[in-house]
Chains A and B, each alone.
Chain A
Amino acid sequence: GEDVEQSLFLSVREGDSSVINCTYTDSSSTYLYWYKQEPGAGLQLLTYIFSNMDMKQDQRLTVLLNKKDKHLSLRIADTQTGDSAIYFCAESPTTSGTYKYIFGTGTRLKVLA
């Protein structure tokens, strides 16, 4: 079945690194995504990783993919108060043919000053 799981909460101090974890079930997903949702706002695409990659770095963001364990993580270096938001991982199973997303439960990141 299709399911994506994340831990619900993460609290870090400003300047520390944050690591948000995600597990997914559908190994057919070609791409996996991270979206950010600020309070009252929509979903902002942060980054994505192709399934044949192990790692992708984009400025302060590092995505790690362990395809064997179906585990995805997002590391935010030097976390700032502006990073406080809900972070969703999503997979897009190619078996669906429509590229729909299956979202995780979302991780609420709180950055303490």
Chain B
Amino acid sequence: EPEVTQTPSHQVTQMGQEVILRCVPISNHLYFYWYRQILGQKVEFLVSFYNNEISEKSEIFDDQFSVERPDGSNFTLKIRSTKLEDSAMYFCASKDRGAYEQYFGPGTRLTVT
């Protein structure tokens, strides 16, 4: 069964450093998302991406964040200058056209020290 994959599973970085979180969505899906979950809190929407552009972003997704689909398979989330409060689990999800359900990857745990 096709699945969404994410790498790395755990990333430790120092405050102020740039990180790139990678996702490989399900191959025929067209809608892509990033969510984050701070430890013990709810899963929050960050950004949606369709047709090679951001279709919606939340207040959390400020200028420090960017997304890219550099090729036909990868979908990346970049944080330019990480802050302590960026420490969270980041989930990638994808959705097929005509479907409503999203499929989530296993997440990347980002720890900013």
Contacts and interface: CB of A to CB of B under 8 A. Distances in A.
B45 A102 contact: yes
A104 B45 contact: no
Interface in B63-95: 91, 93, 95
Interface string B38-57: 00011111001010000110
Contact of B42 (A30, A31, A44, A104): A104
Given A31-B100, A101-B102, A104-B42, A42 B55 contact: no
A43 B106 CA distance: 7
A101 B48 CA distance: 10
Interface in B85-113: 91, 93, 95, 100-107
Contacts of B55: 97-98
B43 A100 contact: no
Interface string A22-42: 000000001101010000011
* B33, B35, B56, B102 interface centre (most CB from chain A within 10 Å): B102
Contacts of A104: 42
B56 A98 contact: yes
Contact of B43 (A41, A88, A99): A88
B31 A101 contact: no
B48 to A, nearest CB: 4
Interface of B: 31, 33, 35, 41-45, 48, 50, 55-56, 91, 93, 95, 100-107
Interface of A: 30-31, 33, 35, 41-45, 48, 88, 90, 92, 96-106
